[in-house]
């Protein structure tokens, strides 16, 4: 079934309201999650309701957070997310970074005591939409990723997002995990009953797993084997993804006072927050170039990339951000797809929460 974006937004909103979240928290989270589904990033949109329900049940997610700035300078700030949904904390943090960048050329905000915030690209794009460069990193609740040479998972999927403004072309928007694939993408394949490509997940012997249900069992139940760091294997330079993941950990959590999942899990119990960290930076190109010069030169760079001869004439060379733009156009026209297996999980969430189920297709 496919549903208009406004129905997806309403479904998310009524569930969050039923969980006791206030209007501002609901509005921000529903905006970010729906926008993510529109962009074709199914792993971080409405499907995240299952994770949030679990966190609420464990009393590790505060439904009514009070965000506060802990320390601040003209160009930096540290924000306490009060264990609320990460969407609100990240939007607050990037808005603060943008204001500082507009005033001083750069703004850097770290958020601690937060939770899952969805797709990192949303927040980087907030900066590029204001004519700024945006850089966002984030740690994760779980640790399903294998360091190079490891038989057990230690790291999170630890995303990086980078956005830059243009004039003629689609703004550059890179949004990537430092693992070969995000855990929630493996979950989407499992929900759809599809096999995963070899190299996404290895078992404890280092052998590739293609059964998506088995892969989810390995990374969420057994904790043996796991998702590979970007590169897949040591022979394919997984040490690069491994290193980037640790870099994200340092920027997002170590700098902010957040947690490292393997250490946190040793003592975390009911009511103990996840202590996820976010790093959000906005940079004004006019601190280095005259007005419009950066965008002009970036457009020229993108033009050259577009003009590169493709290996398949039917598949032209694209630039980061353009696949999501194409997905937005298609989904705005045809609706956001929701697999029946996911719809049934959301129906169950609605029943438990006492919220109306809007995805019945009646």
The CATH code of the domain at 1-57+334-362 is 1.10.1530.10
Mean pLDDT computed over 278-305: 98
Report whether pLDDT(184) > 80.
Answer: no
Nearest to 255 by CA among 109, 156, 140, 136: 109
Q: How many helices (H) and strands (E) does the chain have?
A: 12, 13
pLDDT of residue 234: 85
Domain ranges (residues) in the chain: 1-57+334-362, 65-180+229-320
Q: What percent of the chain has pLDDT over 70?
A: 99
- Which of 45, 30, 81 is closest to 277 using CA atoms? 81
pLDDT at 362 over 60: no
Q: If you average pLDDT over residues 29-57, what whole number do you get?
A: 95
Q: What is the mean pLDDT of the chain?
A: 95
The 10s digit of each residue's pLDDT in 131-170 is 999 999 999 998 999 999 999 999 999 999 999 999 999 9
Q: What is the pLDDT of residues 217-247, one digit of tens each?
A: 998 888 889 999 999 888 889 999 999 999 9
Between 188 and 353, the more confident residue is 353
Residue 18 confidence (pLDDT) above 60: yes
- Spell out the CATH class of 65-180+229-320: alpha beta
The per-residue pLDDT for 191 is: 83
pLDDT of res. 361: 60
Q: Is the pLDDT of residue 306 over 60?
A: yes
For residue 233, what pLDDT is reported? 85
Sheet strands (E) in the chain = 2-3, 68-72, 76-80, 106-114, 133-138, 145-146, 160-164, 172-176, 201-202, 208-209, 226-228, 276-283, 336-337
If you average pLDDT over residues 167-194, what whole number do you get?
A: 91
């Amino acid at each position: 079934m496919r549903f208009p974006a406004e129905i997806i937004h309403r479904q998310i909103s009524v569930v969050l309201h039923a969980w006791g979240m206030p209007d501002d928290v609901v509005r921000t989270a529903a905006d970010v999650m729906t926008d993510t589904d529109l962009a074709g990033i199914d792993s971080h949109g409405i499907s995240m309701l299952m994770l949030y329900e679990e966190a609420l049940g464990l009393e590790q997610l505060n439904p009514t957070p009070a965000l506060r700035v802990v320390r601040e300078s003209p160009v930096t700030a540290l924000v306490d997310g009060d264990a609320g949904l990460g969407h609100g904390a990240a939007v607050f943090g990037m808005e603060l970074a943008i204001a500082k960048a507009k005033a001083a050329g750069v703004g850097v905000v770290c958020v601690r005591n937060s939770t899952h915030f969805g797709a990192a690209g949303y927040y980087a794009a907030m900066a590029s939409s204001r004519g700024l460069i945006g850089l966002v990193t984030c740690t994760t609740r779980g640790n399903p990723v294998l360091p190079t040479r490891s038989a057990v998972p230690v790291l999170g999927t630890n995303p990086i997002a980078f956005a830059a403004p243009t004039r003629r072309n689609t703004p550059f928007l890179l949004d990537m995990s430092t693992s070969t694939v995000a855990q929630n993408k493996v979950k989407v394949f499992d929900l759809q009953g599809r096999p995963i490509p070899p190299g996404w997940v290895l078992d404890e012997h280092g052998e590739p797993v293609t059964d998506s249900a088995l892969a989810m069992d390995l990374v969420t139940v057994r904790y043996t084997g796991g998702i590979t760091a970007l590169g897949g294997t040591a022979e394919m330079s997984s040490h690069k993804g491994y290193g980037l993941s640790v870099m994200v950990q340092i920027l997002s959590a170590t700098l902010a006072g957040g947690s490292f999942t393997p250490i946190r899990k040793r003592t975390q119990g009911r009511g103990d927050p996840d202590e996820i960290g976010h790093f959000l930076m906005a940079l004004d190109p006019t601190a280095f170039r005259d007005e419009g010069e950066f965008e002009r030169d970036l457009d020229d760079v993108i033009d050259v990339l577009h003009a590169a001869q493709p290996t398949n004439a039917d598949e032209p060379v694209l630039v980061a951000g353009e696949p999501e733009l194409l997905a937005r156009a298609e989904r705005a026209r045809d609706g956001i797809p929701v697999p029946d297996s996911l719809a049934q999980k959301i129906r169950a969430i609605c029943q438990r929460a006492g919220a109306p189920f809007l995805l019945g297709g009646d």
